Amino acid sequence: MAGAATTDTRPLTDGFGRRITYVRISVTDRCDLRCRYCMAEKMEFLPRREILSFEEIDMIAEAFIARGVRKIRLSGGEPLVRKGVTDLAARLGRHLNGGGLDELTMTTNATRLADHADALADAGVKRVNVSLDTLDPDAFRYITRWGDLEKTLDGIAAAQAAGLRVKINMVALAGMNDHHIVPMMRWCADQGHDLTLIETMPLGHIDDDRSDRYLPLDAVKHDLEQQFSLIPLAERTGGPARYWNVEQLGLKLGLITPLTNNFCDGCNRVRVTVSGKIYMCLGHDDHLDLKSALREGGREALDQVLDEAMIRKPRRHDFHIGADDAQPAVTRHMSVTGG
Protein backbone atom coordinates (compact mmCIF):
# COMPACT_ATOMS: atom_id res chain seq x y z
CA MET A 1 0.00 0.00 0.00
CA ALA A 2 1.44 3.34 -1.05
CA GLY A 3 2.15 6.05 1.46
CA ALA A 4 -0.45 8.66 2.33
CA ALA A 5 -0.59 11.90 0.38
CA THR A 6 -1.70 15.33 1.56
CA THR A 7 -5.24 15.13 2.92
CA ASP A 8 -7.87 16.25 0.40
CA THR A 9 -10.61 18.23 2.14
CA ARG A 10 -12.75 19.23 -0.86
CA PRO A 11 -16.43 18.48 -0.13
CA LEU A 12 -17.93 15.53 -1.96
CA THR A 13 -20.55 17.08 -4.25
CA ASP A 14 -22.18 15.19 -7.11
CA GLY A 15 -23.11 16.48 -10.55
CA PHE A 16 -26.56 17.54 -9.32
CA GLY A 17 -25.24 19.68 -6.49
CA ARG A 18 -25.98 17.17 -3.72
CA ARG A 19 -23.48 17.09 -0.87
CA ILE A 20 -22.51 13.57 0.21
CA THR A 21 -22.41 13.54 4.00
CA TYR A 22 -23.47 9.95 4.76
CA VAL A 23 -21.76 6.65 3.90
CA ARG A 24 -22.91 3.13 4.66
CA ILE A 25 -20.05 0.68 4.98
CA SER A 26 -20.64 -3.07 4.83
CA VAL A 27 -18.29 -5.08 7.03
CA THR A 28 -19.52 -8.49 5.80
CA ASP A 29 -21.84 -9.99 3.21
CA ARG A 30 -22.59 -12.89 5.56
CA CYS A 31 -25.68 -13.20 7.73
CA ASP A 32 -26.93 -15.68 10.30
CA LEU A 33 -30.51 -15.40 8.95
CA ARG A 34 -31.95 -15.86 5.45
CA CYS A 35 -34.87 -13.43 5.26
CA ARG A 36 -37.02 -14.43 2.29
CA TYR A 37 -37.23 -10.96 0.74
CA CYS A 38 -33.47 -10.41 1.06
CA MET A 39 -31.62 -13.66 0.35
CA ALA A 40 -31.97 -17.03 -1.24
CA GLU A 41 -31.78 -19.94 1.18
CA LYS A 42 -28.48 -21.09 -0.34
CA MET A 43 -26.08 -18.19 -0.77
CA GLU A 44 -22.51 -17.92 -2.02
CA PHE A 45 -20.43 -15.48 0.01
CA LEU A 46 -17.15 -13.77 -0.78
CA PRO A 47 -13.90 -15.55 0.08
CA ARG A 48 -12.36 -13.90 3.12
CA ARG A 49 -9.28 -12.90 1.12
CA GLU A 50 -11.44 -10.53 -0.97
CA ILE A 51 -12.84 -8.49 1.90
CA LEU A 52 -11.44 -5.27 3.30
CA SER A 53 -9.38 -5.46 6.46
CA PHE A 54 -10.47 -3.31 9.37
CA GLU A 55 -7.41 -1.14 8.78
CA GLU A 56 -8.53 -0.54 5.19
CA ILE A 57 -12.10 0.23 6.26
CA ASP A 58 -10.69 2.73 8.75
CA MET A 59 -8.56 4.40 6.05
CA ILE A 60 -11.50 4.61 3.65
CA ALA A 61 -13.69 6.06 6.40
CA GLU A 62 -10.99 8.60 7.21
CA ALA A 63 -10.92 9.75 3.57
CA PHE A 64 -14.70 10.19 3.54
CA ILE A 65 -14.66 12.13 6.82
CA ALA A 66 -11.92 14.44 5.55
CA ARG A 67 -14.17 15.27 2.62
CA GLY A 68 -17.27 16.13 4.58
CA VAL A 69 -19.01 12.88 5.55
CA ARG A 70 -20.64 13.37 8.95
CA LYS A 71 -22.44 10.07 9.43
CA ILE A 72 -21.26 6.47 9.02
CA ARG A 73 -23.46 3.40 9.32
CA LEU A 74 -21.89 -0.05 9.67
CA SER A 75 -23.96 -2.71 7.98
CA GLY A 76 -23.86 -6.11 6.30
CA GLY A 77 -25.12 -8.83 5.91
CA GLU A 78 -25.19 -8.97 9.67
CA PRO A 79 -22.24 -6.88 10.91
CA LEU A 80 -22.03 -8.61 14.28
CA VAL A 81 -21.15 -11.96 12.70
CA ARG A 82 -17.72 -10.56 11.82
CA LYS A 83 -15.25 -11.13 14.60
CA GLY A 84 -13.81 -7.95 16.05
CA VAL A 85 -16.36 -5.56 14.54
CA THR A 86 -16.77 -3.74 17.85
CA ASP A 87 -13.03 -3.01 17.74
CA LEU A 88 -13.60 -1.41 14.35
CA ALA A 89 -16.45 0.63 15.84
CA ALA A 90 -14.13 1.82 18.60
CA ARG A 91 -11.51 2.78 16.02
CA LEU A 92 -14.05 4.79 14.01
CA GLY A 93 -15.43 6.27 17.22
CA ARG A 94 -12.31 8.38 17.65
CA HIS A 95 -13.70 10.65 14.93
CA LEU A 96 -16.72 11.33 17.14
CA ASN A 97 -14.44 12.55 19.90
CA GLY A 98 -12.42 14.62 17.44
CA GLY A 99 -15.50 16.29 15.96
CA GLY A 100 -15.01 14.95 12.44
CA LEU A 101 -18.04 12.70 12.68
CA ASP A 102 -21.49 13.48 14.06
CA GLU A 103 -22.86 9.96 14.25
CA LEU A 104 -21.75 6.33 14.07
CA THR A 105 -24.59 3.83 13.81
CA MET A 106 -25.21 0.20 12.93
CA THR A 107 -27.93 -1.85 11.25
CA THR A 108 -28.35 -5.29 12.82
CA ASN A 109 -30.82 -8.14 13.14
CA ALA A 110 -29.99 -8.09 16.89
CA THR A 111 -29.48 -11.86 17.16
CA ARG A 112 -25.99 -11.19 18.62
CA LEU A 113 -26.62 -7.75 20.02
CA ALA A 114 -26.93 -8.97 23.61
CA ASP A 115 -23.22 -9.87 23.52
CA HIS A 116 -22.07 -6.62 21.90
CA ALA A 117 -24.37 -3.79 23.01
CA ASP A 118 -22.11 -2.54 25.80
CA ALA A 119 -19.04 -2.53 23.53
CA LEU A 120 -20.92 -0.58 20.85
CA ALA A 121 -22.02 1.98 23.42
CA ASP A 122 -18.43 2.29 24.68
CA ALA A 123 -17.30 2.88 21.07
CA GLY A 124 -19.58 5.90 20.78
CA VAL A 125 -22.55 4.33 19.00
CA LYS A 126 -25.70 6.01 20.28
CA ARG A 127 -28.31 4.38 18.05
CA VAL A 128 -28.91 1.09 16.24
CA ASN A 129 -31.41 0.14 13.56
CA VAL A 130 -32.86 -3.32 14.17
CA SER A 131 -34.46 -5.32 11.37
CA LEU A 132 -37.63 -6.88 12.81
CA ASP A 133 -40.57 -7.75 10.56
CA THR A 134 -43.00 -9.31 13.03
CA LEU A 135 -43.52 -10.03 16.73
CA ASP A 136 -45.12 -13.40 16.02
CA PRO A 137 -42.55 -16.17 16.70
CA ASP A 138 -43.87 -18.51 14.01
CA ALA A 139 -44.07 -15.78 11.37
CA PHE A 140 -40.58 -14.59 12.39
CA ARG A 141 -39.19 -18.09 11.91
CA TYR A 142 -40.89 -18.36 8.50
CA ILE A 143 -39.70 -14.97 7.22
CA THR A 144 -36.12 -15.49 8.44
CA ARG A 145 -36.18 -19.22 7.62
CA TRP A 146 -34.71 -20.26 10.98
CA GLY A 147 -34.59 -17.25 13.27
CA ASP A 148 -35.45 -17.24 16.97
CA LEU A 149 -37.51 -14.17 17.89
CA GLU A 150 -36.42 -14.32 21.53
CA LYS A 151 -32.77 -13.79 20.55
CA THR A 152 -33.68 -10.64 18.68
CA LEU A 153 -35.86 -9.33 21.51
CA ASP A 154 -33.08 -10.08 24.03
CA GLY A 155 -30.67 -8.13 21.83
CA ILE A 156 -33.04 -5.15 21.71
CA ALA A 157 -33.42 -5.23 25.49
CA ALA A 158 -29.63 -5.33 25.91
CA ALA A 159 -29.28 -2.34 23.59
CA GLN A 160 -31.75 -0.38 25.68
CA ALA A 161 -29.94 -1.37 28.88
CA ALA A 162 -26.67 -0.16 27.35
CA GLY A 163 -28.24 3.24 26.61
CA LEU A 164 -28.59 2.76 22.84
CA ARG A 165 -31.64 4.19 21.10
CA VAL A 166 -33.39 1.60 18.94
CA LYS A 167 -35.21 2.15 15.67
CA ILE A 168 -37.12 -0.82 14.30
CA ASN A 169 -37.03 -1.41 10.54
CA MET A 170 -39.97 -3.49 9.29
CA VAL A 171 -40.21 -4.57 5.65
CA ALA A 172 -43.89 -4.55 4.72
CA LEU A 173 -44.87 -7.80 2.96
CA ALA A 174 -48.30 -8.42 1.46
CA GLY A 175 -49.97 -11.53 2.82
CA MET A 176 -47.08 -12.17 5.18
CA ASN A 177 -46.87 -9.45 7.81
CA ASP A 178 -49.27 -6.71 6.66
CA HIS A 179 -51.65 -7.56 9.54
CA HIS A 180 -48.71 -7.26 11.96
CA ILE A 181 -48.05 -3.59 11.27
CA VAL A 182 -50.46 -2.10 13.82
CA PRO A 183 -49.35 -4.50 16.60
CA MET A 184 -45.74 -3.55 15.81
CA MET A 185 -46.65 0.14 16.03
CA ARG A 186 -48.25 -0.36 19.44
CA TRP A 187 -45.31 -2.41 20.72
CA CYS A 188 -42.76 0.13 19.52
CA ALA A 189 -44.73 2.93 21.18
CA ASP A 190 -44.87 0.97 24.45
CA GLN A 191 -41.13 0.20 24.29
CA GLY A 192 -40.06 3.71 23.28
CA HIS A 193 -38.74 2.71 19.85
CA ASP A 194 -39.20 4.55 16.57
CA LEU A 195 -40.56 2.44 13.71
CA THR A 196 -39.82 2.65 10.00
CA LEU A 197 -41.77 0.67 7.40
CA ILE A 198 -39.93 -0.22 4.19
CA GLU A 199 -41.17 -1.38 0.81
CA THR A 200 -39.48 -4.55 -0.43
CA MET A 201 -36.75 -3.70 -2.95
CA PRO A 202 -35.96 -5.65 -6.17
CA LEU A 203 -32.35 -6.49 -5.32
CA GLY A 204 -30.81 -9.89 -6.13
CA HIS A 205 -32.34 -13.22 -7.05
CA ILE A 206 -34.38 -14.83 -4.26
CA ASP A 207 -36.50 -17.97 -4.04
CA ASP A 208 -39.82 -16.13 -3.56
CA ASP A 209 -41.73 -13.98 -6.07
CA ARG A 210 -41.35 -10.38 -4.90
CA SER A 211 -44.33 -9.18 -6.90
CA ASP A 212 -46.57 -11.37 -4.73
CA ARG A 213 -45.20 -9.74 -1.58
CA TYR A 214 -44.95 -6.12 -2.72
CA LEU A 215 -47.06 -3.90 -0.46
CA PRO A 216 -47.29 -0.22 -1.51
CA LEU A 217 -46.84 1.94 1.55
CA ASP A 218 -49.17 4.58 0.13
CA ALA A 219 -51.96 2.06 0.66
CA VAL A 220 -50.68 1.20 4.14
CA LYS A 221 -50.60 4.88 5.09
CA HIS A 222 -54.15 5.34 3.81
CA ASP A 223 -55.35 2.42 5.95
CA LEU A 224 -53.51 3.69 9.02
CA GLU A 225 -55.13 7.09 8.62
CA GLN A 226 -58.52 5.43 9.15
CA GLN A 227 -57.38 4.53 12.69
CA PHE A 228 -54.77 7.12 13.64
CA SER A 229 -53.89 10.77 13.15
CA LEU A 230 -50.60 10.94 11.21
CA ILE A 231 -48.98 14.36 11.59
CA PRO A 232 -46.11 15.03 9.10
CA LEU A 233 -42.76 15.81 10.70
CA ALA A 234 -40.04 17.94 9.15
CA GLU A 235 -37.39 15.86 10.94
CA ARG A 236 -34.80 14.06 8.82
CA THR A 237 -32.10 11.63 9.99
CA GLY A 238 -29.93 11.66 6.87
CA GLY A 239 -31.62 8.70 5.21
CA PRO A 240 -34.53 8.27 2.77
CA ALA A 241 -37.34 7.96 5.34
CA ARG A 242 -40.14 10.51 5.70
CA TYR A 243 -41.60 10.75 9.19
CA TRP A 244 -45.00 11.16 10.84
CA ASN A 245 -46.10 11.45 14.45
CA VAL A 246 -48.82 8.90 15.23
CA GLU A 247 -50.70 11.11 17.65
CA GLN A 248 -52.71 8.47 19.51
CA LEU A 249 -49.62 6.34 20.19
CA GLY A 250 -46.90 8.96 20.62
CA LEU A 251 -44.93 7.05 17.96
CA LYS A 252 -42.56 8.41 15.33
CA LEU A 253 -43.33 6.44 12.17
CA GLY A 254 -41.05 6.48 9.14
CA LEU A 255 -41.88 5.33 5.63
CA ILE A 256 -39.25 4.35 3.05
CA THR A 257 -40.93 4.16 -0.35
CA PRO A 258 -38.44 3.47 -3.15
CA LEU A 259 -41.19 2.17 -5.44
CA THR A 260 -44.31 4.25 -4.79
CA ASN A 261 -42.47 7.53 -4.17
CA ASN A 262 -38.96 8.06 -5.46
CA PHE A 263 -36.80 9.58 -2.70
CA CYS A 264 -33.70 10.51 -4.69
CA ASP A 265 -33.84 14.29 -5.00
CA GLY A 266 -32.14 14.85 -1.67
CA CYS A 267 -29.84 11.81 -1.76
CA ASN A 268 -26.76 12.48 0.38
CA ARG A 269 -25.25 9.01 0.59
CA VAL A 270 -23.12 6.34 -1.03
CA ARG A 271 -22.41 2.74 -0.07
CA VAL A 272 -19.13 0.84 0.28
CA THR A 273 -19.19 -2.94 0.08
CA VAL A 274 -17.04 -5.27 2.14
CA SER A 275 -14.94 -5.91 -0.98
CA GLY A 276 -14.18 -2.20 -1.28
CA LYS A 277 -16.50 -1.24 -4.12
CA ILE A 278 -18.30 2.10 -3.92
CA TYR A 279 -21.86 2.09 -5.23
CA MET A 280 -23.12 5.58 -5.90
CA CYS A 281 -26.76 4.39 -5.99
CA LEU A 282 -28.48 1.38 -4.44
CA GLY A 283 -30.56 0.95 -7.59
CA HIS A 284 -27.70 0.87 -10.12
CA ASP A 285 -24.91 -1.62 -10.77
CA ASP A 286 -22.35 1.07 -11.61
CA HIS A 287 -19.49 1.05 -9.11
CA LEU A 288 -15.81 1.89 -8.64
CA ASP A 289 -13.02 0.04 -6.85
CA LEU A 290 -11.78 1.77 -3.71
CA LYS A 291 -9.85 -1.26 -2.52
CA SER A 292 -7.56 -1.43 -5.55
CA ALA A 293 -7.04 2.33 -5.48
CA LEU A 294 -6.08 2.23 -1.81
CA ARG A 295 -3.74 -0.75 -2.16
CA GLU A 296 -2.04 0.47 -5.33
CA GLY A 297 -1.98 4.23 -4.92
CA GLY A 298 -2.80 5.12 -1.33
CA ARG A 299 -4.77 8.15 -0.28
CA GLU A 300 -4.20 10.18 -3.43
CA ALA A 301 -5.60 7.40 -5.65
CA LEU A 302 -8.50 6.95 -3.23
CA ASP A 303 -9.44 10.62 -3.55
CA GLN A 304 -9.31 10.37 -7.34
CA VAL A 305 -11.82 7.50 -7.23
CA LEU A 306 -14.08 9.51 -4.92
CA ASP A 307 -13.98 12.38 -7.42
CA GLU A 308 -14.94 10.01 -10.23
CA ALA A 309 -17.76 8.61 -8.07
CA MET A 310 -19.25 12.08 -7.71
CA ILE A 311 -19.21 12.54 -11.49
CA ARG A 312 -20.92 9.18 -12.02
CA LYS A 313 -23.54 9.34 -9.26
CA PRO A 314 -26.94 9.18 -11.06
CA ARG A 315 -29.87 11.49 -10.43
CA ARG A 316 -32.14 8.65 -9.29
CA HIS A 317 -32.63 4.93 -9.11
CA ASP A 318 -34.90 2.98 -11.44
CA PHE A 319 -36.64 0.53 -9.11
CA HIS A 320 -39.80 -1.11 -10.37
CA ILE A 321 -41.65 -4.27 -9.44
CA GLY A 322 -44.59 -6.17 -10.87
CA ALA A 323 -45.79 -9.40 -12.38
CA ASP A 324 -43.96 -8.66 -15.64
CA ASP A 325 -40.62 -8.00 -13.93
CA ALA A 326 -38.97 -11.41 -14.06
CA GLN A 327 -35.54 -10.05 -13.13
CA PRO A 328 -34.54 -7.90 -10.14
CA ALA A 329 -33.61 -4.27 -10.80
CA VAL A 330 -30.01 -5.15 -9.92
CA THR A 331 -28.47 -8.60 -9.64
CA ARG A 332 -26.62 -8.13 -6.35
CA HIS A 333 -28.35 -8.83 -3.06
CA MET A 334 -28.86 -6.13 -0.44
CA SER A 335 -26.38 -8.00 1.76
CA VAL A 336 -23.65 -7.33 -0.81
CA THR A 337 -24.16 -3.57 -0.89
CA GLY A 338 -25.08 -3.15 2.75
CA GLY A 339 -28.42 -2.10 4.20
Q: What is the CATH number of the domain that holds 30?
A: 3.20.20.70
Residue 14 domain flag: no
Q: Over pLDDT 90: what percentage of the chain?
A: 73
Alpha carbon distance 249, 230 (integer Å): 10
Residue 8 domain flag: no
Are the beta carbons of 45 and 30 closer than 8 angstroms? yes
Which strands make up the sheet holding 277-279, listed edge to edge? 230-233, 242-246, 251-256, 194-199, 165-172, 127-131, 103-108, 71-75, 22-26, 269-272, 277-279, 287-289
pTM of the model: 0.88
What φ, ψ does residue 108 adopt, rounded to 5°? -150, 155
At residue 151, the pLDDT reads 98
Total structural domains in the chain? 1
For the stretch 183-230, pLDDT in tens is 999 999 999 999 999 988 655 444 555 566 788 899 999 999 999 999
Residue 6 domain flag: no
Residue 43 pLDDT class (50, 70, 90 cuts)? confident
Residue 15 domain flag: no
At residue 38, the pLDDT reads 85
Are the beta carbons of 179 and 215 closer than 8 angstroms? no
Residue 54 domain flag: yes
Residue 245 pLDDT class (50, 70, 90 cuts)? very high
Helix pair 290-312, 54-66: axis angle to 10 deg: 30
Contacts of residue 78, Cβ cutoff 8 Å, sequence gap at least 6:
28, 30, 31, 32, 33, 108, 109, 111, 112
Contacts of residue 235, Cβ cutoff 8 Å, sequence gap at least 6:
243, 252
Residue 12 domain flag: no
Residue 4 domain flag: no
Longest Cα separation, the chain: 61
**Which range marks the domain in which residue 223 is found?**
22-337
Residue 11 domain flag: no
Q: Is the pLDDT of residue 182 over 90?
A: yes
